[in-house]
Chains A and B, each alone.
Chain A
């Protein structure tokens, strides 16, 4: 029983972090119908920025993550404004290929700049853990979970309550109408992509603090983002949170009770079944799955 509770707790903490990894991916997909294959590279880049700040200036990743987010916001904004906006109306696989090219460049660039060695951001707090009877709560993961959930909720509040957020949602629902209402779609798209990149950077700093990373880890985070976004569904900002928690729990339980890496095969089976029987995701809105761009 203790093992089960421990696995569940670990899964929930990991799930919150995964949600932060995927929330930007889900938003970019929902609003712009763009699949950002470079999402994983953004996450790892965020981790490296926090790592570099920590090793040169001794900055704690809890502060370094804001720098990582700011750098990635600017980078994401520029990429959307200068590159992706140019092919946004093309058949879907073109935007996918464009971000794939970006992913190749980022991953190889990081390989050259930081080598392929596994890194971790050292802190005084990440290794400690709280004891709750027989159950141990790793402090680093608890803080990362707190940051992830807080940031996701902040994003929801921003999108549903501010003018900027509403203009993002409006552009996602009907771009033509939004432009007629005076919304600058190019700017809003760039803003959305920048926000997504910034959140990926934040997530990366946390991922680098509680675990290890190297440039090759980028592909794994992209794939996880796919699964979480589809599972949670698009068009609802809580989708990534739900998807992330579900995946975190499933991985933790399967890791506890299934041999080998069957857990991965299982995750993809769940993904395909969700796609077939509920393509709009667990909490998504069907509209986003069938929408036609204007």
Chain B
């Protein structure tokens, strides 16, 4: 990490740090790390207070925190809106299921291999696909995810095809005993922490600056000496690695997995919605967005079963219209300019 990279990470930061004395900026720097560690400890404490059903809900929230943060690295920092990020989720999940089912691999080994395979796949498809921009990149990645689902469906000998595949979890044939609700709670908490930590490190590093530069003006970033291809592919690969790990853990948690669920386009869209509502390109935004949206979604599912997706759709529309730059970016800008008007915020992007 560069010594002053955190201070110039956004234009807003530049304004605040130049206005304040240097000493204050120095003690503020480790603050987010300490807060993050406290939150992880608090989540471990929270676990003892939850019923089984609640524990499962919180586990799902952790999962989406990890997924949203992973999408944020490629979609938020770099500005390449991938609509096929679920391909890494499915790839990770199926790698774990296949090696545990066919070759009785240990889950922990399978987890690491799944992540690495997803990362390798990310590098492989990233090289050609990241040459595309905007909608074309979005659709090409969507095509990769949909195509991969069809490939998995059509290889029944290896993947079980559309009928699904079951990971052996009980009895002497099980390579790794099922982790249970408590075990998965901790596993997904650690994955979420890893994803947030990765995004935090990227955000404050020179690499993160390169990604932000690419987001703002790729040609200018290239002419300033940034190897844009390398940076983009690295971001895509890192994101794929994280999503692959989550997919592998999800497969083990679900025991039986199907291509329809593991390559579900809705998972990608949820990642995007969470990042956008929270504030893309920030570390805090996707975290808050994932927690808020997943909690809300679970609440709606329990109280308004029939209208659940209908209300969710309405919330997405309202959020996109009122806070197009996300809660965190809005709050930071509002605090800086002392302008809290939502109406003026709506005018920003309108025709």
Tell which of A94, A227, A230, A275 touches B324, judged by Cβ atoms closer than 8 Å: A94
Q: Which residues of B contact A286 (CB under 8 A)?
A: none
- CB-defined interface of A30-57 with B at 8 Å, one 1/0 digit per residue? 0001010000000000000000000000
> When the two chains form their complex, are residues B144 and A104 in contact, meaning their CB atoms are under 8 A apart?
no
Which residue of B is nearest A95, CB measured? B320
Do A265 and B150 contact each other (CB < 8 Å), given the known contacts A189-B351, A275-B139? yes
Q: Which residues of A contact B327 (CB under 8 A)?
A: none
Q: Which residues of B contact A29 (CB under 8 A)?
A: 135
Question: Is B272 engaged at the interface, CB distance under 8 Å to the other chain?
Answer: yes
Q: Which residues of B contact A157 (CB under 8 A)?
A: none
> When the two chains form their complex, are residues A83 and B272 in contact, meaning their CB atoms are under 8 A apart?
no
> When the two chains form their complex, are residues B314 and A105 in contact, meaning their CB atoms are under 8 A apart?
yes
- CB-defined interface of A255-272 with B at 8 Å, one 1/0 digit per residue? 000001110110011011
> When the two chains form their complex, are residues B140 and A269 in contact, meaning their CB atoms are under 8 A apart?
no
> When the two chains form their complex, are residues A97 and B272 in contact, meaning their CB atoms are under 8 A apart?
yes
Question: Is B75 engaged at the interface, CB distance under 8 Å to the other chain?
Answer: yes
Which residue of B is nearest A291, CB measured? B134
> When the two chains form their complex, are residues B316 and A275 in contact, meaning their CB atoms are under 8 A apart?
no
Question: Is B143 engaged at the interface, CB distance under 8 Å to the other chain?
Answer: yes
Q: Which residues of A contact B246 (CB under 8 A)?
A: none
Question: Is A226 engaged at the interface, CB distance under 8 Å to the other chain?
Answer: yes
- CB-defined interface of A80-104 with B at 8 Å, one 1/0 digit per residue? 0001011111111110111011111
Q: Which residues of B contact A98 (CB under 8 A)?
A: 316-317, 320-321
A window 20-36: CB within 8 A of B: 29, 33, 35
Do A100 and B144 contact each other (CB < 8 Å), given the known contacts A89-B350, A289-B136? no
Question: Is B309 engaged at the interface, CB distance under 8 Å to the other chain?
Answer: yes
Q: Which residues of A contact B150 (CB under 8 A)?
A: 261-262, 264-265, 268
Question: Is B98 engaged at the interface, CB distance under 8 Å to the other chain?
Answer: no
Give, as a whole number of angstroms, the nearest-CB distance from A288 to chain B. Answer: 11
Tell which of A107, A186, A279 touches B136, judged by Cβ atoms closer than 8 Å: A279
Q: Which residues of B contact A154 (CB under 8 A)?
A: none
Question: Is A185 engaged at the interface, CB distance under 8 Å to the other chain?
Answer: yes
Give, as a whole number of angstroms, the nearest-CB distance from A99 to chain B. Answer: 9
Give, as a whole number of angstroms, the nearest-CB distance from A34 to chain B. Answer: 9
Question: Is B147 engaged at the interface, CB distance under 8 Å to the other chain?
Answer: yes
> When the two chains form their complex, are residues B321 and A108 in contact, meaning their CB atoms are under 8 A apart?
no
B window 140-157: CB within 8 A of A: 140, 142-144, 146-147, 150-151, 153-154
- CB-defined interface of A268-285 with B at 8 Å, one 1/0 digit per residue? 110110011001000000
> When the two chains form their complex, are residues A268 and B143 in contact, meaning their CB atoms are under 8 A apart?
yes
> When the two chains form their complex, are residues B147 and A269 in contact, meaning their CB atoms are under 8 A apart?
yes
- Interface on chain A toward B: helix, strand, loop, or mixed SS? helix
Question: Is A109 engaged at the interface, CB distance under 8 Å to the other chain?
Answer: yes
Chain B: residues with Cβ within 8 Å of the partner, total of 47
Tell which of A83, A269, A276 touches B321, judged by Cβ atoms closer than 8 Å: A83
Q: Which residues of B contact A3 (CB under 8 A)?
A: none
Which residue of B is nearest A105, CB measured? B313
> When the two chains form their complex, are residues A97 and B276 in contact, meaning their CB atoms are under 8 A apart?
yes
Question: Is A137 engaged at the interface, CB distance under 8 Å to the other chain?
Answer: no
Tell which of A94, A226, A260, A269 touches B320, judged by Cβ atoms closer than 8 Å: A94
> When the two chains form their complex, are residues B272 and A93 in contact, meaning their CB atoms are under 8 A apart?
yes
Q: Which residues of A contact B321 (CB under 8 A)?
A: 83, 86-87, 98
> When the two chains form their complex, are residues A276 and B128 in contact, meaning their CB atoms are under 8 A apart?
yes
Tell which of A109, A226, A262, A271 touches B310, judged by Cβ atoms closer than 8 Å: A109
Question: Is A219 engaged at the interface, CB distance under 8 Å to the other chain?
Answer: yes
Question: Is A5 engaged at the interface, CB distance under 8 Å to the other chain?
Answer: no
Tell which of B75, B128, B153, B349 touches A86, judged by Cβ atoms closer than 8 Å: B349
Q: How far is the CA of A263 from the CA of B160 in the complex (A)?
A: 19
> When the two chains form their complex, are residues B313 and A103 in contact, meaning their CB atoms are under 8 A apart?
yes
Question: Is B3 engaged at the interface, CB distance under 8 Å to the other chain?
Answer: no
Give, as a whole number of angstroms, the nearest-CB distance from A76 to chain B. Answer: 15
Q: How far is the CA of A88 from the CA of B347 in the complex (A)?
A: 11
Q: Which residues of B contact A185 (CB under 8 A)?
A: 351
Do A104 and B316 contact each other (CB < 8 Å), given the known contacts A86-B321, A94-B276, A219-B265? yes
- CB-defined interface of B310-351 with A at 8 Å, one 1/0 digit per residue? 101111110011001000000000000000000000101111
- CB-defined interface of A102-122 with B at 8 Å, one 1/0 digit per residue? 111101110010000000000
Tell which of B81, B140, B265, B312 touches A272, judged by Cβ atoms closer than 8 Å: B140
> When the two chains form their complex, are residues A92 and B135 in contact, meaning their CB atoms are under 8 A apart?
yes
- CB-defined interface of A171-207 with B at 8 Å, one 1/0 digit per residue? 0000000000000011001000000000000000000
Give, as a whole number of angstroms, the nearest-CB distance from B270 to chain A. Answer: 10
Q: Which residues of B contact A276 (CB under 8 A)?
A: 128-129, 131-132, 140
Question: Is A166 engaged at the interface, CB distance under 8 Å to the other chain?
Answer: no
Do A101 and B320 contact each other (CB < 8 Å), given the known contacts A112-B306, A264-B150? yes
Q: Which residues of B contact A264 (CB under 8 A)?
A: 146-147, 150
Q: Which residues of A contact B131 (CB under 8 A)?
A: 276
Question: Is A135 engaged at the interface, CB distance under 8 Å to the other chain?
Answer: no
Do A108 and B307 contact each other (CB < 8 Å), given the known contacts A83-B321, A97-B316, A101-B313? yes
Do A96 and B138 contact each other (CB < 8 Å), given the known contacts A103-B313, A265-B154? yes
Q: How far is the CA of A111 from the CA of B59 in the complex (A)?
A: 30
Give, as a whole number of angstroms, the nearest-CB distance from A219 to chain B. Answer: 7
Q: How far is the CA of A107 from the CA of B146 in the complex (A)?
A: 20
Question: Is B43 engaged at the interface, CB distance under 8 Å to the other chain?
Answer: no
- CB-defined interface of B288-321 with A at 8 Å, one 1/0 digit per residue? 0000000000000000001111101111110011
The 7 A-B pairs with the shortest beta carbon distances in the complex, nearest first, are A104-B313, A268-B147, A101-B316, A265-B150, A105-B313, A90-B349, A101-B317
CB<8 Å pairs between A and B, sample of 29: A85-B350, A86-B351, A87-B349, A88-B350, A90-B348, A91-B79, A92-B134, A92-B135, A93-B81, A94-B349, A96-B81, A97-B272, A98-B320, A98-B321, A100-B269, A100-B316, A101-B312, A102-B317, A103-B313, A104-B316, A107-B309, A108-B307, A108-B308, A108-B313, A186-B351, A264-B146, A265-B154, A268-B147, A275-B132
